[in-house]
């Protein structure tokens, strides 16, 4: 799915409940890959604007913020030393995206991830700056993919898989 700044493909998700979590007790980890067709190194955008949206179903709000890790799971790319940007060159880089949800989230056989289309332009009011940035393309429709979702056993200690 081409978001213009980055290109994504997702393969699977897992959902896990942690009754001892500080904050949202549900974690959904989505795996896939990302590539960068641009000439410069780029991070994934999280918050506002955002590249990805975790869709929480009608009863819960969607998640516009997320955490992520680039690099193969179980590799030297541990969270403390993980790459935070996607290099240019169009090579696929393994990606893990973590969304959290409040009590009431019900995992299903699939999990929906939205990809927001971006545009690179000056996004200022009153012409105060000509600096270009990546931001939501308000005229483009978001893309949604459903990936198979595995329900993992509840966390019994303080550690989420």
Average pLDDT, the chain: 86
Residue 29's pLDDT band (cuts 50, 70, 90): very high
> Is 159 contained in some domain?
no
Contact at 8 Å (CB) between 31 and 9? no
Does residue 67 fall inside a structural domain?
A: yes
Q: Does the residue 82 lie in any domain?
A: yes
156 within some domain: no
Q: What is the pLDDT averaged over residues 5-32? A: 94
- Residue 41, C-beta contacts closer than 8 angstroms, at least 6 positions apart: 85, 86, 87, 88
Nearest to 79 by CA among 67, 87, 69: 69
Tally of domains in the chain: 1
Flag whether 63 is in a domain. yes
End-to-end CA, the chain: 27
Residue-range definition of the domain harbouring residue 122? 7-151
The model's pTM: 0.85
Rounded to whole angstroms, how far apart are CA atoms 41 and 56?
30
């Amino acid at each position: 799915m081409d978001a213009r700044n980055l290109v994504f493909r997702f393969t699977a998700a897992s959902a896990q409940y942690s009754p001892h979590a500080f904050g949202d007790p549900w974690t959904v980890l989505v795996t896939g890959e990302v590539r960068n067709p641009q000439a410069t190194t780029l991070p994934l955008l999280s918050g506002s604007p955002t590249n990805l949206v975790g869709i929480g179903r009608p009863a819960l709000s969607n998640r516009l913020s997320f955490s992520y890790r680039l690099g193969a799971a179980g590799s030297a790319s541990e969270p403390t030393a993980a790459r935070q940007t996607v290099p240019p060159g169009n090579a696929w880089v393994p990606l893990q995206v973590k969304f959290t949800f409040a009590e009431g989230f019900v995992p299903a056989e699939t999990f929906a991830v939205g990809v927001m289309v971006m545009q690179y332009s000056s996004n200022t009011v009153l012409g105060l700056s000509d600096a270009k940035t990546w931001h939501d393309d308000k005229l483009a429709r978001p893309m949604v993919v459903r990936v198979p979702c595995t329900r993992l056993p509840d966390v019994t200690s303080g550690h989420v898989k």
